[in-house]
Structure 1
């Protein structure tokens, strides 16, 4: 068994290889979700350390401190004892007063390690619903309002438009055209799954970015958005249905998405359910407070 540590998601492909092998049976982060997280991160790489455990050429566990207070973890169920090693590494690698770990409720091979390391499950935090649907018996493609059209990104002008609508939807000024262009170079990005809805004036007003993992045959929706002034026109459903058909045409067997599952932000989940997605799991967050020098535990 070998452990390698990095400043940031340097070994992203190694981490993604585990997601390709075991998602969604173990883990709630698709390989494309990891690519999106790495490409859209606002923290400097040295503030987001990672560690990867492997045997031979096979990745069997990894941990990623996406912030000093937030650990993402994935462990091959065949190596459950590594969960404790990942947690121990993360606690050494952060100087935060508390650390949170979010896992899928179905990842029972991680819960005993979390308890053994003093992490406590909380119930007061928004959670994500892990939804999926087979890529068969797909909904028909929707008829768009007059003048609107959906197509994949094609060129630099589309990249500028796509980044602009993302910023408008999510108030994310760090998603620049340059950053979006760089993300397009990260596996498993493919432009035919990055669908954009254009208004009659030719402006990008909605999008549904898909990530298709050809290893697992699983496609992911992440991220998705519609400009406020163009909502309630069926664009989200239309671009989502188009992405399902694109995944199926590529040979995919399953589509997944993880919207908020709590009552605080219900609309996206309802849209996905209208496209045939159903619950397969949900996330649960575990937290541990530390006694650091000058910082009482629990503060």
Structure 2
């Protein structure tokens, strides 16, 4: 298995820039975990604790990032209940600009080389027919865990920010921002909603250090007894005038009171005031996971696109797969000084 180094804040800025460019032209091709907000959230909360198990590669063309891959290698995580979980497989988040679609083969080859000896998963957009064809050619198949009424796959939902309802909370509850409530309350709200969780005060510090985090767009609902009963963070993409809820969670003792619904509506009013004209949020999409989807549909969201989870344990090249050429370069040739595309990696081979 190849060595890895943490993904840097500078890398994240480049990845988010590509997310913005793809969102502007083909938002249906933005892959799972590659949205503007997901990148900030995942990097922010995880880079201190999990960064040693991350490695990335960047493809540059004409001075612009046109593709990237971010591999999460096997590692161990500690959760808030004291339990320890071994992550035994590898996961890839990635994005390729539509104008450079053929680079997906290089991304796949790099991923296969980086995590060759373990089970590998990836979640391309279901709308990216070309990429799905190329993943299949490399031996990737539909992940069985995504099948059936209780399968695990993610749908992305969106709605415009006109004609918003006014938010309503039960008597005694009130909206707060993380700026008002403070870091300790913000962390506890997340832990209560997602227990057992790997989230820590250090995780939140990492989130707050991302350039895109805004404490005034981190919303909480405070119960009469002072408990932060529900919370969400909104990530504002000013270039595309969109905002994304990630994460959204409610304390188990305060569910079914309308808190999350009121919080989402309140958040959308704040996002609109900040300049957004569209909102997005992701959730499990299979029929057996109706709770979050029902909540989001109740405030006007509708499915826009979904991911297509894939998996492979293959370590050898699929029989009969031809070599492909990208930008005039043989796919199996390591990029050194190509005329059009430069691949950059923290992976020390």
Alignment TM-score, normalising by the size of structure 2? 0.77
TM alignment of 1:51-200, pairs within 5 A: 51-68=57-74, 69-125=90-146, 126-138=152-164, 140-154=165-179, 158-200=182-224
Check whether the contact 2:112–2:315 (CA below 8 A) recurs between aligned residues: no
- Structure 1 position 44 matched with structure 2 position 50: yes
- What's the CA shift string for 1:257-289, capped at 9, x where partnerless? 110111343201100000100111111111121
The DSSP-based 3-state class of the residue aligned with 1:241 is helix
Alignment TM-score, normalising by the size of structure 1? 0.90
- What's the CA shift string for 1:47-101, capped at 9, x where partnerless? 1111111113311111111234211111101001110001111111114432111
- What is the CA–CA distance in structure 2 between the aligned matches of 1:219 and 1:272, rounded to whole Å? 15
2:283 corresponds to which residue?
259
- What is the CA–CA distance in structure 1 between the aligned matches of 2:182 and 2:53, rounded to whole Å? 32
Residues 1:184 and 1:60: Cα distance change in structure 2 (over 3 Å) = same
- What is the CA–CA distance in structure 2 between the aligned matches of 1:47 and 1:152, rounded to whole Å? 33
- What is the CA–CA distance in structure 1 between the aligned matches of 2:197 and 2:158, rounded to whole Å? 30
- What is the CA–CA distance in structure 1 between the aligned matches of 2:315 and 2:208, rounded to whole Å? 42
Residues 1:248 and 1:258: Cα distance change in structure 2 (over 3 Å) = same
Deviation at 1:25, TM superposition (A): 3.3
Check whether the contact 1:142–1:238 (CA below 8 A) recurs between aligned residues: yes
- Structure 1 position 15 matched with structure 2 position 18: no
Alignment RMSD:
1.9
2:320 corresponds to which residue?
none
Which segment drifts farther, 201-210 or 218-227? 201-210
The structure whose Rg is larger is 2
Q: Unmatched 5+ residue regions in structure 2?
A: 75-89, 147-151, 317-349
- What is the CA–CA distance in structure 2 between the aligned matches of 1:291 and 1:9, rounded to whole Å? 25
Residues 1:122 and 1:175: Cα distance change in structure 2 (over 3 Å) = closer
- What is the CA–CA distance in structure 1 between the aligned matches of 2:273 and 2:130, rounded to whole Å? 35
- What is the CA–CA distance in structure 1 between the aligned matches of 2:172 and 2:71, rounded to whole Å? 45
